[in-house]
């Protein structure tokens, strides 16, 4: 393990590993806004030691989240290899939200509840490119309703991530019932005219750029980097 090109001392490497383990656990339990002081406490080091290894919250995210998101890419590739397009689409969607339920940090990242570094944003975009391929494939197979767009999948992520966030502490499997209703409504045979069009790319970008609490992105980013 290195910082730049200089190898870490054995004790420093152990501290870094403990910090990563503690951060992984706490972000999964509480989300990406979990206190850095608690991460340091769980790792058994000072907050100064944490900042020596990870000067910003983003640095911790960058060390942890790409591996988590890569699990989705593997799941998407398996879904695309599934002979039945609808089965693949459903399997990936269920896997996606099962991971949301297990890991609030991943939930936050994919729902973009906190500002993320360009590297993690690109990993999320790569996930979405897989989703677009799954949607096209299921439509071509005649099993997914024709008016369902990639932007609609983004709104599904926002909706389900909130259901999961609010319900898992009381009813850990409640989200599966909600998702089942959504999926039944996406079948081609269930399609009825919709009252509004899908979000445009410009609208989708604007919504994803705006924090849910009404603060400006700059304000939220500043508090995230220092908190």
CA 39 – CA 25 distance, rounded (Å): 9
Q: Is 79 a residue whose pLDDT tops 50?
A: yes
Give this prediction's pTM: 0.79
CATH number at residue 86: 1.10.357.10
Asked if residue 216 is part of any domain, the answer here is no
Candidates 14, 9, 127, 120; CA nearest to 60 is: 120
Task: Note whether 135 and 89 are within 8 A (CB).
Answer: yes
Asked if residue 165 is part of any domain, the answer here is yes
Residues 6+ apart with CB under 8 A from 142: 188
Max mean pLDDT among 11-20, 164-173, 192-201, 218-227 falls in 11-20
pLDDT at 1: 45
Q: Domain range for residue 48?
A: 9-55
CA 162 – CA 100 distance, rounded (Å): 10
pLDDT at 75: 94
CA 72 – CA 181 distance, rounded (Å): 22
Please indicate, yes or no, whether residues 26 and 113 belong to a single structural domain of this protein.
no
pLDDT tens for each residue of 9-46: 788 899 999 999 999 999 999 988 899 999 999 999 99
pLDDT at 6: 58
């Amino acid at each position: 393990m290195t910082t730049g090109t200089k190898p870490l001392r054995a004790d420093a490497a152990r501290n870094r590993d403990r910090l990563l383990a503690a951060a992984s656990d706490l972000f999964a339990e509480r989300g990406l806004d979990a206190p850095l002081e608690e991460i340091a406490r769980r790792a058994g080091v000072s907050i100064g030691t944490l900042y020596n290894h990870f000067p910003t919250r983003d640095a911790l995210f960058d060390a942890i989240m790409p591996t988590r998101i890569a699990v989705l890419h593997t799941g998407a590739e398996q879904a695309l290899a599934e002979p039945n397009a609808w089965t693949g689409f459903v399997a990936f969607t269920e896997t996606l939200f099962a991971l949301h339920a297990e890991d609030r940090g991943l939930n936050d990242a994919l729902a973009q509840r906190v500002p993320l570094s360009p590297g993690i944003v690109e990993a999320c975009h790569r996930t979405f490119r897989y989703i677009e391929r799954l949607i096209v494939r299921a439509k071509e197979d005649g099993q997914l309703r024709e008016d369902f767009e990639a932007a609609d999948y983004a709104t599904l992520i926002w909706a389900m991530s909130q259901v999961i966030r609010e319900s898992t502490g009381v009813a850990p499997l409640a989200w599966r019932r909600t998702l089942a209703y959504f999926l039944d409504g996406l079948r081609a045979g269930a399609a009825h005219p919709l009252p509004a069009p899908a979000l445009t790319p410009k609208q989708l970008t604007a919504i994803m750029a705006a924090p849910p609490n009404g603060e400006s992105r700059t304000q939220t980013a500043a508090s995230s980097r220092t908190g």
